Amino acid sequence: MKLEQNDISMLFSSTTIPDVFFTEYLSQMSGDFIKVYLYIVFLSKYNKDIKVNDLSKKLSLPFKVIQDALKYLEDAEIITKKNTGYIINNLQELELHKLYKPRLSASATDAAKNMENQIRAKAIDTINTSFFQGIMSPSWFNDIDLWFKKYGFDEQVMIALFRYCYERSALNRPYIQTVADAWHMNKIKTFSDLDLYYQKHEKLNAIKKSISKKLGLNRMLTQYEEAYIEKWIVDYKFPLDIIEIALKKTTSTSNPSFEYINKTITDWYEHNLKTANDVQAFLVEQKQKKKDIKALEKKAFNNYEQRNYNNLDSLYANSQNK
């Protein structure tokens, strides 16, 4: 007797996505990339062979988007490229390898227990409940522990770091580390350091808005324009009243630009001017020099004209005597 079993219809089949995808990868991927990933996971279950061009048509996505998605997934080690195509990596296995790297804790619980003290463990628990709805992936525990050691942040600063990224919808490792690097470069370790840092940035942002308004710009400043302003304030340490003098000088220019303003302010900085009074005195001095130069030029021109006139008289007199 031969027994046979009918193939299960696709209608009753399902494709499993591990929870770690939602905790570790979802927030960092664009909607189109997620679309590509889910579909290739589905195809891989049936060992299907599909070309990139066909994938583009099937998902109604541009060819380049498919290419970019595959490149992103490969860089993130979610898939591995082979000569014949791609292997869909096991995300749970990837996370397991992260957890069992040398000198890291064996689990989320162990990682929390091995923190320097209960205050730090409480801070990590706050991050978990506040920004991950209490389901933070185990690998995050180890990353946070390493960031504590690398940057020397206190617990309040670490919580503030995650809040800053969370409020900007950028709760992913590359962005968090970029912000952490910036804070570290600004010598932030305690919450007091962070508070002073925020105060400086708020002051800088207020100056940027003031400059934009005085120039009548009904748009956001570009990245390069903001960089100019930061140079005047942070590097040159010029107060706003000095910058305002430079802004007023643009009224005599038909098409003022930040390059023009920067050239003016940089010239004052190179002349070691410190205050608005120094700048005003320098401008008066420059104006007087221009007047003196014009006076000398006029005097030289008049002398030249007078000599030419005398020479003509002499020439005329000599011709009459002949």
Q: Domain ranges for the chain, please list them.
A: 13-94, 105-189, 194-270, 286-322
DSSP conformation class of 215: T
Q: What is the pLDDT of residue 77?
A: 82
Q: What is the pLDDT of residue 103?
A: 44
Helix (H) or strand (E) holding 95: helix 91-99
Q: What is the pLDDT of residue 303?
A: 63
DSSP conformation class of 27: G
Q: 85 phi and psi, to 5 degrees?
A: 155, -135
Angle of helix 223-230 relative to helix 258-270, nearest 10 degrees?
20
Instruction: Tell me which CATH code domain 13-94 carries.
Output: 1.10.10.10
Do 112 and 121 meet the contact criterion of CB atoms below 8 Å apart? yes
Q: What is the pLDDT of residue 280?
A: 92
Query: Strand 79-82 relative to strand 85-88: parallel, antiparallel, unpaired?
Result: antiparallel
For domain 194-270, the CATH class is mainly alpha
Same fold, 13-94 and 194-270: yes
Do 72 and 33 meet the contact criterion of CB atoms below 8 Å apart? yes
DSSP conformation class of 220: P
Question: Which residues in the chain come in under a pLDDT of 50?
Answer: 1-5, 102-106, 115, 312, 315
**What are the E-state strand segments in the chain?**
79-82, 85-88
Closest to 34 measured CA to CA, from 42, 26, 44, 22: 26
Q: What is the pLDDT of residue 109?
A: 56
Q: What is the pLDDT of residue 4?
A: 44
